[in-house]
Amino acid sequence: LAYKFDFDHPIYHDEAHLAAVRAVVARVRRWRDGWKPDRAYYVDGIDHVAVVDRRDAPDARAVLLGGIRAELWWFLDRNRSLDAIMREFEHVDRAFLETTLEVWLHRRWICQIVDRFLCVVPRKGPRVPRPVKAEPVRRPKKSVHLPMFDEVNA
C-alpha cells in the first residue's frame, strides 16, 4: 500500500511570510558563497592567545590577549553565564570584564544569548596544555589549649 500525502496549509499562501523566507534563504546563500577558510581563528599560546580576524580587513594583524583577557578567553570555551564569569574572576574589576565582553561582542569573537557568553572563533592548531588551577587550601582551624578547662575535662 502507498499513499501520497498531500499537504496544504494557509501559510503556503501567505505572501508576506513567503517573502520573508525567501529573504532569509538569499542571505544564507550569500553567506555560504562568500565564506572563506581561515578568515577568523585563534592560536593558543602557553600564556596568551593570538586572535586573527580578517573578515572585515584582509590585511589585519593578530591581536594578542594575555593575562586576565587570555584567562577569560579560555574560560569562554563553553557557554558561561555572566554570574559564572563574575564568580570566576571575582578578583577583577567588574567594569573591566563587562567592557572586555562588550568589545569582543562588537568584534564578533563571542556571542551572547540572554546572559550567557561563548567564544565563537575557532582554534587553529593544537590546544596548549596549561596547568590546572589548584583549589585553595582549606586549613583546619587550630585548637587553642585553655588551661582553665583542664579540671572540667579530667
Sign of the torsion angle spanned by Cα atoms 55, 98, 67, 129:
negative
Q: C-alpha grid cell for residue 125?
A: 592548531
The per-residue pLDDT for range 135-152, each reduced to its tens digit, is 555 555 555 555 655 665
Q: Which segments of the chain have a pLDDT < 50?
A: none
Crossing angle of the two packed helices 94-107 and 67-75, in degrees rounded to 10: 70
Question: How many other CB atoms sit within 10 Å of the CB of residue 119?
Answer: 22
| 76: nearest Cα among 113, 39, 40, 46 | 113
pTM beyond 0.75: the answer is: no
